[in-house]
Amino acid sequence: MRTAATNATEHPDVDPDALTRLERFGGSKLLREMIALFVEVAPNRLLAAERAVAVGKLTTAENELHSLKSSAAQLGAMKLSRLSEQGEMLARGEMVTGITEILVQCRGELARVESWLAGEREARGA
């Protein structure tokens, strides 16, 4: 079993078992397609949230981050999912300053997740 990276509070940054569950459910083809879809869509969701915050459309930002939270969790990107949830809550509370910092963190974490998923896809032959 692979060891997931963890942060200081022992919450996993990634959950490789989430990918294993997807692979068991739908095979390598489903896993490959889900990873490809995430890599294509997630950056656009984050960009849409950033743009929405910039123009004061916090409900749009909330919705984009909600979608990102769910898709990240489904693929085992747990830190990105948690950050997206924090951003979603801040958008709901109209806390623009806080959400801006979370979006910066999401951008960095998304880059790490994309790299992790590429490695997992290669390792699993998906």
Residue-averaged pLDDT of the chain: 92
Least confident of 4-8, 16-20, 46-50, 55-59: 4-8
Residue 51: its pLDDT value, please? Answer: 98
Residue 102: its pLDDT value, please? Answer: 97
Residue 20's contacts (CB-CB under 8 Å, 6 or more residues apart) are none
Tell whether 72 is covered by a domain.
yes
Q: Is the pLDDT of residue 61 over 90?
A: yes
Residue 90 maps to which CATH number? 1.20.120.160
**Residues spanned by the domain of 108:** 16-124
Tell whether 6 is covered by a domain.
no
Tell whether 86 is covered by a domain.
yes
Tell whether 36 is covered by a domain.
yes
Tell whether 9 is covered by a domain.
no
> Using 50, 70 and 90 to split pLDDT, how confident is the model at 5?
low
Tell whether 5 is covered by a domain.
no
Pull the structure tokens for residue 111.
């880059």
Pull the structure tokens for residue 43.
């950056």
Q: The pTM is what? A: 0.89
Tell me how many domains the chain contains.
1
